[in-house]
Chain A
Amino acid sequence: MLPRGSIRTNLLLGLPALLLAAAIVAVAASWSGDFFAAGNLGNLVNRVLPLSLAALGQAFVLFAGRIDLSVGSVISLSTAILATTSTSLGWAAVPLVLVAGLACGALNAAGVIYLRINPLIMTLASSAIVKGAALILMPTPGGEVDYTFYDAFYGQDLLVGWPLAVILLAFLGAFLLFGFTRFGRRIYALGSDDRAAYANGVDVRRVEWSVFLASGFFAAAAGVAVGIKILSGDPLIGDSFTLDAIAAAVLGGVALQGGRGAVPGVLAGSIALVLIANAFNLLELDPNLQQIAKGLIFVVALMLFMRGGVRRTA
């Protein structure tokens, strides 16, 4: 097994995604002169923000060898909450959304830990519950997110601004957590081998609680970013994020069987995915092809990274 925490190993895992991103940049820039326009770069950062946050939350769970399929629904619910409360509560709506995200994470954790339901199915069930809640709160897309939110957060769609700062802060924090703290090691340990981790004194329940809470929290944060961007709520907008977040993590070298992966890789994977979508727009390809292409890329990524590393299940 590779040593954890060393920066070299961490960066190497994200290398394929980084190369893919660079290749897409090269192709997109040579075919379309608009790629390096300041507006497009700022737009790219704004698009990377929600996906990378959702993928980071997903990575917490994946590192621990679990999975969270409720990310998309949590994002939808977050936009719905934001759009119904932002005009009356102002900025206090944001912590409210984050608390709601934590609650969703707590639901997942409770089901997995106390009811002993397989995480895959538990989060699938909770995604239905959360989606139902979002649809009851807001049956059709609508509502309003205060424009001052957009102004203050996204501003002029510049390359350097709040969105970039949030991405860097979140990923730097997670990088330090996973690379240099006991807690991060415990998450990897749980993902590598539940029993061995338990035998070595890892508090399995506590780690499970924290990874699901982290996933819910980051999904809600991603939902805030989406809600401010579209200036309204949409009870179904998050659906595509579930698969995208997993795809971004897998592209970034995270192993679905747990215990392997790195935070910089997740960021690289998110950037690569966003660039693919951006290239489709710049090259003026049929947007409906985008979904097909994303699905195929996901399959290829899984194919490349799943090979060889299949973990024996007890």
Chain B
Amino acid sequence: MSTSAYLVRMRPAAASLRAVALLVLLLVAFFVSAGLFSPLLLLDNVRQAAPLGVVVLGQAIVLMMGRLDLSVGATASMANIVLCAVFAGDMANTGPAVALTLGAGALVGLANGLMTTKLRIPSFLATLATSMIVAGLVVFFTGGSPRGAVPAGFRVVTEAWLFGFVPYSALIWLALLVLLMLLVHFTMLGRKMILSGANLVAARHSGIPSDGLIVLAFVLSSLLAATGGILVSAITGMASIGVGNGFTLDSIAAAVIGGALFSGGVFLPLGAMAGALILFVVQSLLYLLALPPAAKFIVQGLIIMLALALASFRKEKSS
């Protein structure tokens, strides 16, 4: 393939650009109402939005397959519990702690994928059921009082800045984003995934093993959710039940703002990133305006509604 063809593929979709434009607008509003502009504050927002951003990437992959993952919140919460328990505050346990956490996440994804493909349970119900089971298992094994902590050495992941300028967590987020973009847009596997998301029947007729790819998407989503949970744990440093529960709705909202469609076949990592940042800035704005924290839910719901209403309006106009 020629270089120009690669470049065409790299060009962000219009929906992504719209999300980025909205983000810029919000940032202006944020800095105007805060009364000062500082790039450091901006980067600090990016740092804190990174866990959500990583989770959104997974949700976007599942949405690309035309499915929905309502278990990312429970998976991230579980990751926090497992990570802290295995770490037990000792830096020497880094390897097993991260590996076990990701392994547990992958298992959740595997269960989700097998339920939706082999048992043919609609994905939102299958993942709703797993999220219930996972949350139940967490409470059962911890007895409601989780133990352990993340050692200070590991918290560098989210608390430290490279050259005092770029937060590590932002780099992790960016790296995962680029990896996924390469996977989806530049590998055969990714092309097959996006095709089965866009048209399952056509994909099957073309001999693409769609079921396996759907399972893969769910495993990726849960792995990313677990990674998001790890990042959250690095921020908070302690184990607490349900710390990632908000990610479920947040990730869907962010993906939708970024132009993801529930009908599948679309993967817009840049849009997903902008979506996550938008949600985060909106939260900060609500905080600045001294609105009650619960207003966040209302804004979230309205954002999802607005984004989808716009999408369906545009589809109607073009057809």
A binding-site residues for B, Cβ under 8 Å: 111, 115-118, 120-122, 124-136, 139, 235, 243, 246, 256, 286, 288-292, 294-296, 298-299, 302-303, 306-307, 310
Q: B135: which A residues are within 8 A, CB to CB? A: 291
Query: 15 pairs across A/B with beta carbons < 8 Å?
Result: A111-B305, A116-B312, A124-B304, A128-B298, A129-B301, A132-B300, A135-B297, A136-B292, A136-B298, A139-B292, A291-B139, A292-B137, A292-B140, A302-B125, A310-B120
* CB atoms of A117 and B305 under 8 A apart: yes
* CB atoms of A120 and B124 under 8 A apart: yes
Tell me whether A246 and B312 are in contact in the complex, defined as CB-CB below 8 angstroms, given that A118-B262, A292-B140, A295-B133 are known contacts.
Answer: no
* CB atoms of A128 and B300 under 8 A apart: yes
Within 8 A of A (CB), among B5-60: none
Task: Give chain A nearest CB distance to B36 CB in angstroms.
Answer: 30
Quick one: closest A residue to B68, CB to CB? A120
* CB atoms of B121 and A117 under 8 A apart: no
B160 located at the interface, meaning its Cβ lies under 8 Å from any Cβ of chain A in the complex: no
Tell me whether A118 and B308 are in contact in the complex, defined as CB-CB below 8 angstroms, given that A129-B301, A310-B120 are known contacts.
Answer: yes
* CB atoms of B304 and A121 under 8 A apart: yes
Task: Give chain A nearest CB distance to B214 CB in angstroms.
Answer: 15
Q: B294: which A residues are within 8 A, CB to CB? A: 131-136, 139, 235
Quick one: closest A residue to B130, CB to CB? A295
* CB atoms of B130 and A132 under 8 A apart: no
Quick one: closest B residue to A289, CB to CB? B140
Within 8 A of A (CB), among B107-140: 115, 119-122, 124-126, 128-130, 132-133, 135-137, 139-140
Tell me whether A121 and B262 are in contact in the complex, defined as CB-CB below 8 angstroms, given that A288-B140, A292-B140, A294-B132 are known contacts.
Answer: yes
* CB atoms of A132 and B249 under 8 A apart: no
* CB atoms of B305 and A292 under 8 A apart: no
* CB atoms of B120 and A128 under 8 A apart: no
Task: Give chain B nearest CB distance to A132 CB in angstroms.
Answer: 3
Q: B293: which A residues are within 8 A, CB to CB? A: 135
Tell me whether A295 and B308 are in contact in the complex, defined as CB-CB below 8 angstroms, given that A132-B297, A139-B292, A289-B136 are known contacts.
Answer: no
Partner of B121, one of A116, A126, A299: A299
Q: B313: which A residues are within 8 A, CB to CB? A: 115-116
* CB atoms of B297 and A131 under 8 A apart: yes
Quick one: closest B residue to A297, CB to CB? B129
Could you tell me the distance between the alpha carbons of A24 and B59 in the complex, rounded to whole angstroms? 38
* CB atoms of A243 and B305 under 8 A apart: no
* CB atoms of B120 and A122 under 8 A apart: no
Task: Give chain B nearest CB distance to A257 CB in angstroms.
Answer: 9
Task: Give chain B nearest CB distance to A230 CB in angstroms.
Answer: 20
Partner of A306, one of B119, B133, B316: B119
Within 8 A of A (CB), among B265-316: 292-302, 304-305, 308-309, 312-313, 316
Could you tell me the distance between the alpha carbons of A84 and B15 in the complex, rounded to whole angstroms? 44
B79 located at the interface, meaning its Cβ lies under 8 Å from any Cβ of chain A in the complex: no
Could you tell me the distance between the alpha carbons of A153 and B34 in the complex, rounded to whole angstroms? 53
Nearest 5 CB-CB pairs, A to B? A132-B297, A135-B294, A291-B136, A129-B301, A128-B301
Tell me whether A132 and B309 are in contact in the complex, defined as CB-CB below 8 angstroms, given that A120-B68, A288-B139, A299-B129 are known contacts.
Answer: no
Task: Give chain A nearest CB distance to B250 CB in angstroms.
Answer: 10
* CB atoms of A116 and B140 under 8 A apart: no
Partner of A115, one of B125, B132, B133, B305: B305
Quick one: closest A residue to B144, CB to CB? A288
* CB atoms of A303 and B297 under 8 A apart: no
| 10 further contact pairs, Cβ within 8 A, besides A118-B308, A124-B249 | A117-B309, A120-B124, A121-B252, A243-B129, A256-B125, A291-B139, A295-B129, A295-B133, A299-B119, A302-B121
Q: B299: which A residues are within 8 A, CB to CB? A: 132
Could you tell me the distance between the alpha carbons of A133 and B294 in the complex, rounded to whole angstroms? 7
* CB atoms of A299 and B305 under 8 A apart: no
Could you tell me the distance between the alpha carbons of A289 and B119 in the complex, rounded to whole angstroms? 24
Of the listed residues B137, B139, B144, B294, the one surrounded by the most CB atoms of chain A closer than 10 A to its CB is: B294
Could you tell me the distance between the alpha carbons of A120 and B297 in the complex, rounded to whole angstroms? 17
Quick one: closest B residue to A308, CB to CB? B120
Could you tell me the distance between the alpha carbons of A126 and B133 in the complex, rounded to whole angstroms? 24
* CB atoms of B302 and A129 under 8 A apart: yes
Q: A115: which B residues are within 8 A, CB to CB? A: 305, 308-309, 312-313
Task: Give chain B nearest CB distance to A171 CB in angstroms.
Answer: 24
Could you tell me the distance between the alpha carbons of A121 and B297 in the complex, rounded to whole angstroms? 15
Tell me whether A128 and B249 are in contact in the complex, defined as CB-CB below 8 angstroms, given that A302-B119, A307-B120 are known contacts.
Answer: yes
Q: B128: which A residues are within 8 A, CB to CB? A: 243
Q: B305: which A residues are within 8 A, CB to CB? A: 111, 115, 117, 122, 125-126
Could you tell me the distance between the alpha carbons of A128 and B134 in the complex, rounded to whole angstroms? 22
Q: A136: which B residues are within 8 A, CB to CB? A: 292, 294-295, 298
Could you tell me the distance between the alpha carbons of A310 and B68 in the complex, rounded to whole angstroms? 18
Partner of B120, one of A289, A298, A306: A306
Q: A124: which B residues are within 8 A, CB to CB? A: 249, 252, 304
Quick one: closest A residue to B118, CB to CB? A303
Tell me whether A295 and B301 are in contact in the complex, defined as CB-CB below 8 angstroms, given that A117-B312, A132-B296 are known contacts.
Answer: no
Quick one: closest B residue to A110, CB to CB? B305
* CB atoms of A125 and B133 under 8 A apart: no
Quick one: closest A residue to B296, CB to CB? A132
